[in-house]
Each structure stands twice: as C-alpha cells, then as structure tokens.
Chains A and B, each alone.
Chain A
C-alpha cells in the first residue's frame, strides 16, 4: 500500500519527560500538624516507601496518598505538590483549615428513606475516617463516595439513570452537606424472549424469575448464565446462549432476547482418575457420585466439590472431552494433600500432675476418603481413649454416618468414674439454607465404679448404670438469617428410647420439642433491615421411666434456667431441690418465652421479655405450683456477626432457694 505523506504522517507526540528521573532523598515542606515520621508512617499504610531511588511515578503516588491521608484527617482543602529537585523530591503540603461534618440535608424525590440515605452516607464517612462514634471530620472525598453509594443503592433498586449531587457549605468550622437526588425512571424487565434451541421447562422457569421484575444491572448476563446452566445440566454440553438487551429510556422497559443454540445432547462417557497415589480410584468415583446417563454439568461440579471437601486432596481438576459418539469423557486430575494430622501434647497440671495427650486424624482413612479420628489421654489420675470413623457420603447420598467408641477412667475432685461406650449415627441435611434434616443414632454407655464425694447430691439416683439408647431428631429451620433471625420459624423434635432390649439397665422414653417464631412488626426491606420484632418460643419435654426403672440418673434429666431458658435464674438453676437444697433436675418441663425487641438507635435494640417455666420431678407429680415466671429487660447490639446481648430477669414467683433475679450475657440469637 502506498502511503501519501499528505498530512500528519509520522505525528510524534512525546510527553511526560521521556527520560526516567530518580531522587535519593525527600523533604516535606509546609506541614504544620504532622511530623516527617508521621507522614512517612501514613504513606506506609498505602504501601508507599520513599527509599532511594525515588522515581517520579513513586513521588506522584506519594503526593496523591498524602493528600488522601490529609483528607481523611479532616482537611478538605489540603493540597500536596511535588517537585523533583535534583537528588531530592520536595513535597509541598498545604493543609488548610480542618472542618467537621455539620448538617445533612436531603431533597429531591425520595426513593430511599432519608434515614437510610443518612445512614449510608455516614457509614461511608465513618469508615473512611475511622471514627465509629461522635462527630466526624468533614472529608470531601468520603462525602462524595457516600453520595455515590446512595446512587448505587438507587441503581440497585432499578433506577438506572439516578443522579445525585452533593454540595457543601461552610458554617464556621462545620460543613453542611446538601444532597439532591434525581432518581429518574425505574427500569423493569418487561420481556424475556427465548429464541431457538431446546426450551426445557426449567428454562421457562428462569424466564419467569426475571420477567416483570425490577431490572438490576447485570440481570441480562445473569439470566443468560442461568439458562446456560439449565441446558448444561440437561445434557447440552456445548450449549451457547447469546443475549441482546434493549433499554427503553422513554418508559423504563427492558427487553432481553436470548438466542439459544443448545446443540447436541450428551451422555456421560468414560471417567478416569489420575494422581491418586494413596486413594482408591473406586472411592474417588463413588464420592464423585455421577450416575450413568445424560450428562449433567451441575452434578459434575457438585462431585468435584465433594472430592475437595473430603480433605484428601489439595486440588481437584476435571477435564471434560466431548466425543463424536455423543458422550463426554471426564478425566479427574487429583492432587493429594496432607490428609493426616498427628498431635502430641506433654504437660503438667495441678490435679493431673504430668500428663500426655495424643490425637490422630486421617481424612483419607485407608484411601477411602472417610475420616478416622483417634484421641488418647493419660495422667496419674485419668486415662482414656476415643475413636470416631465417619463417612460424609454414606450410601452415595448426603448422609453422614458416624461410628464412635470411647473408654475413660477419671478420678476428679468431685467424683470418680469409669465409662465406656459406643454409638452409631446417621445425619442428613436436605438443604444448606434451611438447615432442615434428621438425625438418628444409637449409643451404649456404661458407668461403673462411680462415686461422689457427697452421696446425697444424687439423692438415691443410680451412680453405676448402663444405657442403651436410640434417638431420633428432626429439625426444620426457616429463619431468615443464620446469625440475626428476625423472621421465620424453627421447629425441632427429639425422641429417645432407652431399654434393656437395647443392652441397658435403665428404661425410659424421652421426648422433647421446640417451636420458635420470629414475627417482624414491620416489613424487612433494604431501607430498614433492622426492624422491631417479637420472638415466641416454646419448649416442652417429658421423660417416662418404664420396666421397673426407679430413679433416673441425673445426667439424663431436664434442667431449666439460664440465658436461653428462664432468664431470672442462672444456668440450670431452676427446679426441684433435695433436702440439702441441691438442684436435682426433673422429668417434665414446660417453657414459654415471649420477647419483643425494638430498635432504639441504629443497631441498638431494647428487649422486654416474659419467661415462664415449669420443671416437675415426674409426670405424675406435675403441678402448676412448680411454675416460675420471670420478667425482664435487656439490650441488644446487632453486629454483622450477630447480637451481643445482656438481660436482667426478675422472678415474679419465688420459692425457697430461688434468687430475686439474674443477669445474663450472651452472643447471637436468644432462642
């Protein structure tokens, strides 16, 4: 091709001082409130080190981050310039006056409540200036970032064209900030059109999940991704989905068109395993859990995750190769990790004198990917050993099977005992989110040679006994949050049977249940995630001895009182007492709690509660006279990890030995 040098041929621009400059030292000028050491330390927080040779780009970065530091310290007019003066970089700092944040005014159409906008903006400023409480410095960039966060919240609510203006005005040493919001139209996905390919029922469900919903940025990609996942789950290994999205600014409608090329439907082909030196290939295949038949990408992903969670491998890679025959071959490349761990402790204790403890865990026991755990302890006064073997993928299902056995002989200040036993358990969780599941187990335990310093403590209850027990537990957890529930319910039922037919000395049936409801008094919306709510909790239990079983060992009885029970008593401090005034537990109990929590300031809540409990020695001796009622007040502070709580419960009904009330401290939800 012939170039004509008519115009502009060979334009050459050079800028920025083409040669690299570097200095060996630096100086700060103009800083009155901060020493050189403080400024150097501030730069270190941004990972800037002014050590020779100091390049111009480093000096430029240093000036920028010094300015950020000064902004964060409440100097909104701060300026930092630099100059490469021979071997030295000279930073010229003008701090300007220091301001504090004054009044916040909001105007414009209210998409978000003023309360939330203020909370969003202040949270950003507080986080940037590291001031959790009290008056904050005025930091221009933090205020602008806070305003941007408000805009983002509006965009997330579907107001794509939202605009926000933050202006500030000085009033003495305070800076008042005025925020004007212009949300514009709310965008809604009016149509999701599916074109071509295999329209599986699940694909239609995906369409339904997006259609007529408020548009959030990226929804078109999410919709496409979900459709692709559905197709790959249904055997369409090389499914392709392209999206074409139209935004109609005049009415806020969004139209998503998905062009689907589903391609051929595949079956699973050959599956091979590499890298398993200590692990049985058969165990890997079983844990992968794939059934022959239609290819399913979701099942492959879940199987790979299961392999990694076994703890036997530090890495699991899968290579999928489609074949012309219509199958997909899988090659698993596993990297075995340190699945075994041994620990030994040697020490000295006031009671035990010299002691030794050893534990061994193997998460790839005999190459089966099952976990074995051994624990042994020995001292002059105690010794014992325990072993547990568990399979988290029992019967190729999400069922955890556990087999455990133990032996211990203890000589403690209060008692001495010899115990040995074994148990087997099965546990299945249906979903990750609702935590619903069941557990069934059998344990056999023998307590022999048990003696207590004061024999009256147990009031004739057997000290030496064997227990053969079958238990079943079912849980359904529909609370809205694992750590800070404010809505939903929790149900739990548990039943145990102990009998001579199960190789025990004592026989009883024991049932207990819990039902808890969380009732929000206002809708929980992003604008107000912390709402007032009521908690209603009830628990009941009964233990019925049979087959000539007399007194029930104290370890098997019910106790009430404490931070999650009747809060006007200390932990396990409520219920029948023997002649010496010692608590001896009961065989029947009823518990009811009602609590209201009300937000008073930000994440601080006040709580008021009524607790009622009845613990009777036996069903035939049940009497309402054993009922205790406590009322109280408490405080809650909700952190991202859960609530820190303090309660005081006061007893309305007191019997001999009952306290006037009790303080309770706790973390997380109450019931």
Chain B
C-alpha cells in the first residue's frame, strides 16, 4: 500500500452457515493513511476483527510513523484573500457505510505516535502527539482522548507565538465535538501578548490580552502587521509601513534561497522594526530597530523624534 508492506491473515469458519465466524488480522508497516501537498501520514497498523453475526469486535493499534504536516507562509494569501468561508470541522457520517452485522461490532483501536509526527514549515513548527482511542461501534465510532501540540510555535508575519498548551480533546459526554484548549504567548515589540482559544472547534472563542493592555484590534494588528498602536496613520505610519514592508520583502526574498546551513528565517525572526509616535505636537516619529543576538541579549538602534541617532545593547531576563 504505497510501498508499505502488509499482510492479511485469518479466515472465516462456516461451522454454522447461518452464523459464520470471522477472525481476520491486518498488519502493515508504513501504510499510507493520507497524503496531500500539506500532509503526509503513514502508520504501522495491527488490527484484528473477530466475531459473528450477533457480536464482534475490531481491536488493535495504529501507530503513526513519519507524520508531517507542512505549512509554509506565503505572501500570496495576503494579496489574494480567499473569499471562502472558513471550513468547519464536519463530523464524518457513517450511516450506511458499514453493512450488517459488522456495524454493530465493538470498536477499540488506539491511535498513537510511533515516531514523532511533526508540524514543519515556516508557518508553524512543533510536534503533534495523538493519544486517541476509537471506541463505540464500527457503524458509529466515537473518538476519545486528546491530540496535543507540543513545543509548537506559530510564525506570524512579524511575531512568533509560543504555544505553551495546545490540546484538542475528544470527550465521551460530547462525542464528535472536539474541544479546543490552546494557550499561546508572544513577545511583540514591547508587549507581552497572551492568546487563549477555547470551546468547541466549530464555535471556538478567542481572547487576546496584552501587557501593557491594548484593545483587541490593536493586538491583532500588533501580531499580524507588526504595527504598534498609534502609528496606523499620520506621524510614524510611513516609517512603520516602510520598516514592516521591507521586512516582509526581505523574508520573501531570502526564502528563494533554500539554505541548509543558515536558518535565514530564524535570523529575520530576530529582527524587529518599530515606530513610536512623537510625544509632542508636530514632532517626527521615532524609528527603532532591534536585533536579538542571544537569549535575552539584543542590540537596539533608533532615530528619535528630534532626528538624533541612538544605539545600545539590552539584556532582558525573566524569572519567577
């Protein structure tokens, strides 16, 4: 199956022709489960189906191997926004898919990783860790457990979000309504941003908070456009727009060079360009650039609202 070796072993015993006994085991290595330009999913499968016309079960395990979800950030979607509504999670429909008597058989198949299932690309990175069980009946399966996103980072155009907790829970009392619980933080310019996404996947809520506090729309623009509040127009906007536009173009440019030795994305993610509106009437905006060197150490350079150039080094330390 797509180069993955497999074997099917077992048989059907007709001791009673009206009630045949089934006992079939399927084992496969690196069996292809799904594949498209953004997803590659193979698994080692060991599933046994046994039973008869009145009862039966399907049990076993699916261990995901070399799973990859690949997402790359492109400028195209920003320039050509999709007019399609967001696609909702649609629970699969099983009615009529499985014939009797198999649809009444019990199901108990565990789904876990055998090797890390990675989220790769420059849009997001991390590991997906499923700990799921398919239970219920073959004709009406119910997933239970959770999918965890570990060590994940989401790369927004001008910020990186660290996903500290990312869970999709499949709970028994509310089957086929996955519950989202994602907590992420980001440091954008001089703001600490917290994002909490929660609730049913199709009715999720998103709360954004920042320290120092900003309105929701200002946080969105800070994360996505890299624009601090107060520079959406007038003094400071031109400088901010040139800085952020330049960063975006630089990022698009360096992605043409697929260097294995230097992580160019990482280098650009360390660079921040911001603008601060003038503090007095008729002044010009301060334009500031900051480059993170190592851990909390960064270099800063700015042209202030009087046109003077300043430069310095900053050390930032977080502790309990």
Contact = CB atoms under 8 A, between A and B. Distances in A.
A4 B13 CA distance: 6
Nearest to B4: A57
Given A132-B80, A152-B87, A311-B192, A371 B211 contact: yes
A46 B81 contact: no
Contacts of A64: 35
B177 A400 contact: no
> Among A226, A554, A667, which residue has the most Cβ atoms of chain B within 10 A?
A667
Given A59-B3, A123-B81, A666-B232, A348 B310 contact: yes
Interface in B72-97: 72, 74-85, 87-91
Contacts of B83: 116, 119-120, 123, 529
A373 B213 CA distance: 12
A126 interface: yes
A3 B15 contact: yes
Contacts of B91: 217-218, 221
Contact of A482 (B120, B217, B234, B319): B217
A338 B7 contact: no
A338 B320 contact: yes
B194 to A, nearest CB: 6
Nearest to A602: B80
B173 A228 contact: yes
A559 B278 CA distance: 15
A240 B174 CA distance: 8
A255 interface: no
Interface string B200-217: 101100010101110111
A225 B174 contact: yes
Nearest to B88: A218
> Among B80, B176, B216, B258, which residue has the most Cβ atoms of chain A within 10 A?
B80
Given A16-B4, A20-B29, A120 B84 contact: yes
B284 to A, nearest CB: 11
B304 interface: yes
B198 A305 contact: yes
Contact of B320 (A16, A149, A337): A337
B33 to A, nearest CB: 12
A390 B209 CA distance: 14
A482 B216 contact: yes
A241 B177 CA distance: 13
B90 to A, nearest CB: 4
Given A308-B196, A435-B216, A666-B237, A132 B79 contact: yes
A610 to B, nearest CB: 19
A650 interface: no
Interface in A7-22: 7-20
A664 interface: yes
A196 interface: no
A319 interface: no
B101 interface: no
Interface residues of A, number: 127
Nearest to A45: B72
Interface string A7-40: 1111111111111100000000000000000000
Contacts of B164: 314-315
> Among A153, A554, A641, which residue has the most Cβ atoms of chain B within 10 A?
A641
Interface stretch (A73-81, A178-186, A339-347, A624-632): A339-347
Nearest to B77: A127
A402 to B, nearest CB: 9
A1 interface: yes
A88 interface: no
Contact of A222 (B78, B200, B304): B200
A363 B13 contact: no
Contact of A308 (B7, B89, B174, B183): B183
A620 interface: no
Interface in B184-200: 192, 194, 196, 198, 200
A133 B174 CA distance: 45
Contacts of B310: 347-350, 352, 355
B5 A17 contact: yes
Interface string A51-80: 000011101110011001000100000000
Contact of B312 (A60, A347, A563, A642): A347
B227 A349 contact: no
A105 interface: no
B314 A127 contact: no
Contacts of A8: 11-12
A483 B221 contact: yes
Interface in B49-91: 66, 68, 70, 72, 74-85, 87-91
A526 interface: yes
A123 B82 contact: yes
Contacts of B304: 349, 351
A131 interface: yes
Interface string A643-670: 0000000000000000000001111100
Contact of A224 (B66, B79, B177): B177
A400 B213 contact: yes
B269 interface: no
B292 interface: no
Interface in B207-265: 207, 209, 211-213, 215-217, 220-221, 224-225, 227, 232-235, 237-238, 241, 258
A9 B300 CA distance: 76
B38 to A, nearest CB: 9
A130 B74 contact: yes
A325 interface: no
Contact of A664 (B30, B220, B233, B282): B233
Contacts of B173: 228, 240-241
A412 interface: yes
Given A11-B8, A305-B207, A563 B177 contact: no
B270 interface: no
A296 B42 CA distance: 43
Contacts of A352: 308, 310
Contacts of B177: 218, 221-222, 224-225
Given A60-B3, A218-B202, A11 B84 contact: no
A381 B224 CA distance: 37
A412 B5 contact: no
Contacts of A20: 5, 29
B185 to A, nearest CB: 9
A446 B37 CA distance: 64
Given A16-B4, A225-B177, A128 B37 contact: yes
Contacts of B8: 11-13
B76 A131 contact: yes
Contact of B233 (A65, A348, A562, A639): A562
Contact of A336 (B198, B213, B258, B320): B320
Interface string A488-531: 00000000000000000000000000000000000000100100
Contact of A3 (B6, B13, B196, B258): B13
A478 interface: no
B313 interface: yes
> Among B42, B173, B209, which residue has the most Cβ atoms of chain A within 10 A?
B173
Q: Which 9 A-B pairs have the closest CB atoms?
A: A347-B312, A666-B233, A349-B310, A563-B233, A60-B3, A338-B318, A482-B217, A56-B3, A350-B308
30 contacts: A8-B12, A10-B11, A12-B7, A16-B4, A45-B70, A57-B3, A120-B83, A123-B83, A127-B77, A127-B80, A128-B37, A130-B74, A153-B85, A218-B88, A221-B202, A225-B174, A225-B177, A311-B211, A315-B164, A343-B315, A348-B310, A350-B309, A414-B306, A526-B85, A563-B233, A572-B281, A641-B220, A665-B237, A666-B234, A667-B237
